[in-house]
Structure formats: structure tokens, C-alpha cells
Amino acid sequence: MSTQPDPALGAAVKAADRAHVFHSWSAQGLIDPLAVAGAEGSYFWDYDGNRYLDFSSQLVNTNIGHQHPKVVAAIQEQAGRLCTIAPGFAVDVRSEAARLVAGRTPGDLDKIFFTNGGAEAVENAVRMARLHTGRPKVMSAYRSYHGATAAAINLTGDPRRWPSDTGSAGVIHFWAPFLYRSPFHAENEEQECERALRHLEDTIAFEGPATIAAIVLETVPGTAGIMVPPPGYLPGVRAICDRYGILLVLDEVMAGFGRTGRWFAADHFGVTPDLLTFAKGVNSGYVPLGGVALSAEIAATFETRPYPGGLTYSGHPLACASAVATINAMAEEGIVENAARIGEDVLGPGLRELAERHPSVGEVRGLGTFWAVELVRDRATREPLVPYAATGEANAPMAAFTAACKAAGLWPFVNMNRTHVVPPCTITASEAKEGLAALDEALTVADRYTV
């Protein structure tokens, strides 16, 4: 299904947007938002008759694709029955959403605190960790993103933190493994893993283990570059946490719900955190929803002592109904397995083949429907195609690459010197190949900026 082009309507939508909508992360006068007329499956389209293959899943959240009919129907059905009810009541869809999420989270993470999105989930996980341990500080990695609210943005290890960094949030940053740009001068995965774990334990020793409530990590860091950790890293972090009574919080807001080809990325590593945050893929963002899954031990802390946190819309019925429908559809339709298969059979081999032919590709890495393509000026030195946190003219090569993707009918996810290949987990092999062909075209533009 596609709506008829209507450029005049598109222009009116755009004009009202420019007059009244204040956009995220942007200098308001310097942006030019595309007016979107509709979306279905792996595609969305504008009012001028342009259709885009969505290789971004919007903000890496439409794991089930756009307008999945079972999820749309569940929201409609719930809207007819009960649109809203305060979090203090027990409601069928909220109970069922919590049961379905708890049934998929690893280990004994069986209690679910619902939020409206990812940042609030991280915010509450940190609060729970501090209250449970009685310790003030939290550790997180450079090259990470955890959300834009107070604690979450201070945990974030990228330049989006800088304008909001209070310097007093009790956050300690450390380096996690990333062999391609190794902070430890390592030459192989084993060295990188071993040195990253030693660096973490040394940092804890010098900070004072008894001052640290939690280590917060994206299981597979997403926006910061999709760095799949070496197999031993997360089990090693778990062991360090256990040694010092520090809680492990795994942030699965982006990596969870099928993105890596498993329900949770933690499943690849056999690690159970004390707290797990989720959002995005839990209901593909059809209605805002996130949450924290708590271990039995942390839940017990708040059995007779009140948890000092809450939200008017915690466990909102429309959001929960869409989560129930999403999780059931993902299970019935084998969507998690599809993501794994597409990664192994199409995206992995296809991206590696592009890397062989395009001098601008320094590395491809990932799994499932979660891949990063690292663009470089010089493959030998690994100099990024644009400098870290580049803006304006310095970012021109990435701007040209992005424009070339769009001209080829592909909507890319772009961050710094990388493009991420993060389509819906429902993408078919032929759609994935169509996207790779568009990427092939766009990479010829990136190649022009290589040495």
C-alpha cells in the first residue's frame, strides 16, 4: 500500500513543522525534515512519490517493521476497551506484557518495571542499583549511549553528553573492548579482552570498590558503533562485579528484542545481569514503552520498603497491548530467527564483499540485523572518513555519502564516520540485497574522499 503523491500536502506538513515543532538534537534553523506520508514493512515514503528502504529502522526501533497488522489491530482493540488506567491497578494487558517480557529475559529477571522509553529505564535502573547497594557511583563505557535524561546522559560516553555533563553525577567512564580502534594497543581479540578486563578492575580498585553501585553496559554497544564484545568480556565483567558486590546493568534498549538474532544480546554470551533495561523493539515503538527487568534479589529489596519512583504512564495499556502483540507475532512468525538468518546469509557476506571492493570501508562488524560499516580515509592508518564529532564542512564526506544513499532509495543510519545497517528484523533476503546494492552505489561517493 502506498499513498498517492501529494506535494502540496507535503509542503503544508513541512511548513507547520518548521513553524511549530522543536526537534531533538538540532540547530532548529539548519534542519530540513522529510515530510513522511506513510510506511509499511521495510519501507516508508514521502509526499513527492519517493519511497525509501528503511535501513535505519527509524531510530533502530521498528524491529517488526512498519504497520505490522497484528500490532495495529491490538492497539485498535485495546483503544476500544480501555485506553488508560493508573499504574496502581492490575490490568490484563499489563500483566500479560510483563509475563511475556519476564519469560524471555535471562535468569531470574522476573519482575518488570515499565517506563515510557529507554532513558527512563536507565534512570530507574541506576536508582534501583544505588538504593539496593547503598553506594553512590556508577560506571559506564566510553563509546556508549544510554539516553538523554539526567543520569542517562551522564552515563553516555559520546559527545552528546558534553553540553549536559554536570561533572557531579557520580559516573566514572572506562574503556570497553573495540579491537579495530583498540584503546589497549591489542593485536587480537584475546589480548583486547584480557586488557579491557584488567583496565576495568584497576579502575575499580582506584575508585574504591565500596563506592560503586553498578556497571552499566550496552550488551552490544549500538549507536556508538556496534562493537560486538569478545566472547569472554561480559562473563569477565560479571565475575568482577560479583567479586566486589557491584551490580551489573545491561542496557538492551537497542540490542534487545531480536536485533542481534536472539531475544536479548545477553543470550549470546550466557550472562545474566542484575538489572536489564529495554525499550524500542519491545513493541517496535508503536506506542512509547520501555522498562527495567529486576533480579529476584533486587526485587526483594523493595518487597517491604517502598520503591521511590514512578510514572503516570508506567505500563500504559495501549503500550502494553502493542508489546503483547509484538512479542507474540515475533514468536509466531520466527522474526528473531529471521534476523539471525539474514545476518548470517545476506548482510554479513554482502557487507564483507562490499568491503573488499570499496577502499572507504575500513571494517564491517555485527550480527543479526545489527551491523556497522566503518568508513575511513585511509585503510592502512584507519583514519576515519571524518574526524570524531565533526560538524559542518569537516563532515562533508559523510553528508555526501548520506545524500547518495537517499538518492539511491535507501534511508541510512549514519553516526560520525559510520553507517549502520540496521533494517527491521523482518526484512526479506531480496530487500536486504536491494539495500546492499544501494549501499554499493553510495560507497562509490565515499571512495572519492579516500587517500
Phi, psi of 376 (to 5 degrees): -130, 155
| Element spanning 206, H or E | helix 189-207
Nearest residue to 278 via CA among 132, 104, 107, 131: 104
> Does 234 help bind ligand PLP (rule: CB under 6 A)?
no
Nearest residue to 160 via CA among 26, 309, 278, 266: 26
Nearest residue to 234 via CA among 336, 159, 141: 141
> Does 291 help bind ligand PLP (rule: CB under 6 A)?
no
> Does 123 help bind ligand PLP (rule: CB under 6 A)?
no
Residue in 37, 75, 119, 335 binding ligand PLP, rule: CB under 6 A: 119
152 vs 438 by CB, closer to ligand PLP: 152
Question: In terms of C-beta distances under 8 Å and separation of at least 24 residues, what long-range contacts does 108-111 make, across chains too?
Answer: 108/272, 108/295, 108/296, 109/272, 109/273, 109/275, 109/276, 109/293, 109/294, 109/295, 110/293, 110/294, 110/296, 110/299, 111/293, 111/294, 111/296, 111/299
> Does 279 help bind ligand PLP (rule: CB under 6 A)?
yes
> Does 222 help bind ligand PLP (rule: CB under 6 A)?
yes
Minimum Å gap between C-beta 27 and ligand PLP is 20
Minimum Å gap between C-beta 158 and ligand PLP is 11
Total residues at interface with ligand PLP (CB under 6 A): 16
Minimum Å gap between C-beta 399 and ligand PLP is 22
229 vs 397 by CB, closer to ligand PLP: 229
159 vs 245 by CB, closer to ligand PLP: 159
Nearest residue to 44 via CA among 73, 80, 3: 3
223 vs 338 by CB, closer to ligand PLP: 223
3-class secondary structure, 67: coil
120 vs 431 by CB, closer to ligand PLP: 120
Site string for ligand PLP, 129-168 (x = CB under 6 A): ----------------xxx---------------------
Count of residues in the chain: 451
Binding site for ligand PLP (CB under 6 A): 59, 117-119, 122, 145-147, 218, 222-223, 251, 253-254, 279, 290
